[in-house]
Chain A
Amino acid sequence: MKLNVIKQRSLWWTVSAAIILAGIISMVISTATLGSPLRLGLDFVGGTRLQYELDCSKPGNCDKPIDIAAVREVMDAQGLANSSIQVLGDKQQALTIRTKSLNGDQRIKLRDTLSEKIGAFDPKTVQIDTVGPTLGRQLFASGLLAIILSFAGILIYLTFRFQFDYAFFAFVALFHDVFITVGIFSILGLVPQLQVEIDSLFVVGILTIIGFSVNDTVVIYDRVREVITRHPDQHIDQVVDDAVNQTLTRSLNTTLTVLLTLFSIFLFGGETLKYFALCLIIGFTAGAYSSIFIASSLLAWWRERTGKAQPLPAPDAKTSDEV
């Protein structure tokens, strides 16, 4: 297999631009309807999520599935009409309620009324998550700060290791990966059946993508440098094409093995880790794609435009349509 990365660069750039554009449109719609570019979960806006399961060891308790209308009635009666209610499980015997922040007594009142209506719950399968609104804002701010700091840390590291234009385009590729992941999650948040929310684990996922996706780019750039020193007279397009192809199996294999473990988490890891794994799957795939097609072709394009390997300050509007 031999890839013509440079020749078809307008194709690669269009693909990326299209996905990013879709993400931006989704974020605009999301901001207009939900008030934020992504559907923010409990962790960031505060509230209470309760999960109860009927106790099937009691005779007759699990004979019929949970009636969502009965649950809604109870919620309305307690002044919690705006809550979202979901019935889960193979036999529809588990219940998830997402509502405004409830304290212990309010929660117990709700639980007891629900038990009366639909049957006793098993205390050992309860899950309660309550986050106060202030703490939610704190978590969000510290998550954002962590992302910005690691961006900065990696930019500094790359600048030390490579010339500035390498570092800059590695950074562009990194930004590309994060943006694609965020965009796709914004779209998933708007899909009515899914309404995927982002939580603390999403921030963790983004940070992991930041750490990992630049890895691929670094390996390819490492090789570009090596090829340049070996063939100083070669045209940059040729150099980049060679470097990408020489490292291609490695890039694919590494991404593939990581994706194998991630798919394993996605399939078997349970509800909590499912979207976390999905976030990483999207980010890592975008990471491999951007390293092979975007970072490389951008570097070649820039070096060609500027004449030679002059370490220049950050290019401006010319690349911003890529970011």
Chain B
Amino acid sequence: MQKQRLVLALIVVLVIAAITVLVKIPIQLGLDLRGGAQLTIQVKPTAEIKKITTEELDAVLSVIQNRVNGLGVSEPVVQTVGSDQILVQLPGVNDPQQAERVLGGTAQLDFRKQKPGTEAQLPIEQQVRQGILLKQAQLRQTKDEKAIAENQAALERSNEAILKLFESTGLTGKNLKDARAEPLQTGNAWNVALRFDAQGGEKFAQLTKDLAGTGRTIGIFLDNALISSPTVGPEFAQTGITGGSAVITGNFTVETANDLAVQLRGGALPVPVEIVENRTVGATLGRDSIQRSIYAGIGGLVLVLIYMGVYYRLPGLIADVALVIYSLLTIAAFALLGVTLTLPGIAGFILSIGMAVDANVLIFERTREELRDGKTLYRSVESGFYRAFSSILDGNVTTVIACAALFWLGSGLVKGFALTLGLGVAVSMFTALTCSRTFLLLLVLGFPGLRQKPELFVPNPPASVKS
């Protein structure tokens, strides 16, 4: 009895914790539920780069990130998937045609020369651009789509204006062999070191010779947006920077130096990217889906609750309570673990409600058998739990095996299902073995009157059943 009280206390604490979690942490919804576009971008190997390594994928990722940031979408997500894919999520986008246009294609890295007579103009334009970028960051918080779009147009105009201040030199990402962040020998500052191929080295020498000491800058453009504009010191006026390598100095920290190096590497990669998947769901459609799945979930739960109550009587009602606790704990687990809920994910959860019942059914059937054999109520309940355990474990292990295969190999949609079903099965083991058991034992032990009424547990019990 003491032990049951403790478990009961534990359950109460868990339920309160679950409710608190649900109130405090909102559940993350997938794009198929809240509306938005999801693009999968395939990084394709070429004759030169036969296999995409992690470093290369990261470099391409930075290029894609750059392009996505140029789209003016609030809260975009860009992440790598597997060994050669990048996933881009654009919440709230109803038709990602602009994204598709911008995100495909090989990155373009250009080293340009600032035109003479634009020295005063560049800092002004750069300041304008900085202002627009700052505003953009603020606007993204507000989610005012119209203002974001307007600001976006301003950013594009600003990018074009800056581009006009520079002229082409023919030195492009193709000529750049590597870019690395390097610590300076003194102090905490960092550099970005560049290395060109032979042809690039010559062009770079010519470019730096032309610019040395003039105060005009080298414009490094990634997809036509300026990412860095270093000047060249007067000491290089005679020969330019020769030898095919150079360092960009400045007030770099580890992070900013790395960012620039990765961007440069990404721009230098000749790998083409292609959008291989586009899943877009309009916001209204997503809301419909949420509503439908709530109906389906509640419908399923209620049907099961009624069935259990009618068929198994008192234990059925206890199983019902356990089932409600199960649903609560599982949803709280989703929120707590940051599971992104998708439509298949919800289906997995609803299905797990049906499966969670299984353990209870196994136990109650056993209990009934023991009662029919003429055992006392208490012993029947205990041995019901004890003897059903191996069957419960077997059933759940096989389900978890299937879930693991799904989770390991499946794509995003499939993963959601595997995760919710797998989590559900795990939680259901707990609720069946602790909640149902404790409630039932507490009732049997705490209300002696019950023990005289085995008909609450099984129809037509044998006359001998008494405790």
Contacts and interface: CB of A to CB of B under 8 A. Distances in A.
Interface of A: 48, 51, 103-105, 107-108, 111, 122-132, 134-135, 139, 142-143, 145-147, 149-150, 153-154, 157, 161, 200-201, 203-204, 207-208, 210-212, 214-215, 218-219, 222, 246-247, 249-250, 253-254, 256-265, 267-270, 272-273, 276-277, 280
Interface of B is mostly: helix
Most buried by B among A51, A253, A259: A253
Interface residues of B, number: 77
A103 B354 contact: no
A222 B299 contact: no
Contacts of B411: 139, 142, 200
A312 to B, nearest CB: 23
B46 to A, nearest CB: 16
A161 B394 contact: yes
A268 to B, nearest CB: 4
A200 B417 CA distance: 11
18 contacts: A104-B95, A108-B97, A124-B35, A127-B282, A128-B37, A145-B409, A149-B409, A210-B398, A212-B398, A215-B358, A218-B391, A246-B369, A260-B303, A260-B307, A261-B304, A262-B351, A262-B354, A273-B293
A132 B274 contact: yes
B406 A146 contact: yes
A267 B350 CA distance: 13
B100 A208 contact: no
Given A129-B279, A145-B409, A264-B300, A211 B402 contact: yes
Contact of B344 (A128, A139, A204): A204
A122 B354 contact: no
Given A219-B395, A277-B347, A257 B304 contact: yes
B284 A124 contact: yes
Contacts of B308: 257
B175 to A, nearest CB: 30
B354 A267 contact: no
A150 B402 contact: yes
Contacts of A259: 354
Contact of A124 (B100, B283, B390): B283
B296 A264 contact: yes
Contacts of A124: 35, 94, 282-285
Given A130-B275, A161-B394, A270-B292, 19 more contacts: A103-B104, A104-B95, A128-B96, A143-B409, A150-B406, A153-B404, A207-B403, A211-B398, A211-B400, A212-B402, A215-B358, A215-B394, A215-B399, A218-B394, A260-B300, A268-B292, A270-B343, A273-B343, A280-B351
